Amino acid sequence: MSVSGVLAQGRAAALQLMRDTCVVERKDGDPVLNETTGVLEQQWAPIYTGACRVKPRSSSETEWGEREVTLHSYVAVLPWDAAPEIQREDQLTITASDDTWLIGRHLEVIAISLAGAATARRLLVEDKEG
């Protein structure tokens, strides 16, 4: 069997494991002041909606604002042919999952894994909400 054939089989198998659905969004313009709350709010524009898989990676203690928090890192897996290109600081939100605790979590993309012979797109994401 050729390398192309093996990759096609691997990509099909990886897609079958993607039981979650997510949306990836990118910052859309500068933050806007909410007159009611007095808080700057960032607008987001969707760039990808579809199948994904989220797997735990690690956690670490860090200072966030003026308090110490635990940052949880995950690997988010998207189909190999997901487009457009995902970038650092994009936001991934799980919209459907067998794990209901994942639904609605906002995960920030902090790194993108690149490989020509990969079976899926892998993103390192952090849960900065807790």
Each domain of the chain, given as residue ranges in start order, spans 3-30+39-127
Residues contacting 5, CB < 8 A, separation 6+: none
Kindly report, residue by residue over 8-60, the tens digit of the pLDDT.
899 889 899 999 999 999 999 999 999 999 999 999 999 999 999 999 886 66
* Among candidate residues 34, 52, 36, 35, the one with its CA nearest the CA of residue 90: 52
Of all residues in the chain, the percent with pLDDT exceeding 70 is 91
State the pTM of this model.
0.83
Kindly report, residue by residue over 14-27, the tens digit of the pLDDT.
899 999 999 999 99
The CATH code of the domain at 3-30+39-127 is 2.40.10
Residues 101, 75: contact at Cβ < 8 Å?
A: no
Q: Give whole-number Cα distances, 71 to 38, 57, 62, 65, 129, in Å.
A: 27, 11, 7, 13, 8
Q: What is the DSSP string of 91-104?
A: EEEEEE-SSTTTTT
Longest Cα–Cα distance of the chain, Å, equals 63
CA–CA dist 49, 78 (Å, integer): 10
Phi, psi of 127 (to 5 degrees): -95, 105
